[in-house]
Chain A
């Protein structure tokens, strides 16, 4: 029934690692845990089994990793893996084995007891927030286009990021050297949106975590904060403290605790890697948050590596006072916008031999996006939209061809064409006339601003020229304010009445083009 095999591995230093595997029938999983899953376990399903209480005494870093369900013979089995790391000084070898056995037996007896006599569930102590699980499993992609669409989704970050090898290498070697030396440092990463900054850093962290699991580098702790997710820059302290120790404190108290933690020496302190995304939002008038973030790595005992990400290249020079900028240091890296070849390569690697696009179509998308911004997210969105257009335009849903140039062109038009021109084209006759009156009045005055009164005189003249019934002032104001609400015009508050000043929010050429096109 239970097959326990322990594998031992001696690592460098004083730490030991043990990984234990055993098999349990699906029926023996406590019903409470199955109900947490919310559905019948699928043979390929992978889920987490958490039992924190039994390993608190052993200095365990990863308690129980994934639980896999396997078919063995006629019965379904659960394969569980337990991973410990412990210090030889604390436990002798023999006692550890005994201890482990006791723990496992405890787990199993508990689970068998639970499976036989389900008692009332206790109030969970350390509850983790969760969202309700879906009743049906997510739909599998049915055809090639759907397959392509899931692969092209922005959230589907691939394992390796193409075209960012150099940047990956730089960040990796920076962080790795700091971890190896046990020192700290700062790095500033900049680049326009959608150039793979955050994805690259995450990739680096994943690789480093793997390396530390393989005992190639010392273990470290990774924390991530995002300036956009905070209501106040001082919340950064609270979040860092909570992610490091699980403690909750007010901002001031958290800052004091962190200060103490980073400035005092402690044995067995791990290196902490802190990723600060959207750095520009942590700006305060006194800049004390930024100052602290960059000052802590310079402490002798801190062992803190800070990676900061923002969009503008000259942010340190622009908004930081000198003592903050100098602490940030000169380790900078800027992510260039993708060229069209790189964008093409990214899409190709995402699609991974799924044949859904024509070569030319891909090239068109990547060239257009590269010419405008070099934003990979934008590129992926356009491709996804093009697959949707292709699917809709196909005569019958079962036989859809490849995404061609026409579909891509349509998607590009949707995404890049100015909404203003469409809005002007679709406006009513009087609204179009009013825009023409605005231009006429601007030409007469030689200015880019006039009052509603002046424009209205022009409007009435235009009405007579066009053979329309001239509208009243009230209707004219309604027309004007409707255009203002669409942001085609920029207006002053309406309580000024006919004295309110009118400016255009679009270029005159756009209006003339839109009005002339038909």
Chain B
């Protein structure tokens, strides 16, 4: 999964030459053999490297504050979302829903790679949601739908249907 995400990011960044990756350990942590230095290990590390390589630093945040937020969500992605437990789904969605209440993107008003990695990380959860649940976590759904339609992001992941109108009234929750 991580390797497909990295190649998806490469395409998004418009990098011409695809890198060759290997994996390390049981958790299949991605490793990039760098020509002019030691190997890079870990999804987030490699991703940040690719962004710099493509000279798109704004994707890591355009201010000190947003850079910190992006790193925080990338960290959240690899620590909380990878290998999440079924019983955590509700808490994760609830928290994220609250966070996204007043935001278009995770780092505020700008698209960053935190959005792409949170999107792919949360995708398996959203695919399984019933329509009623999607309405319950309406901010997550809105953000998710936005990101999956963001040019070049969705890549290999199947699209998730999202209804534009609410079909359940408050009484159904």
Q: Is B truly associated with A? A: no
Enumerate chain A interface residues (CB-CB to B < 8 A).
none
Enumerate chain B interface residues (CB-CB to A < 8 A).
none
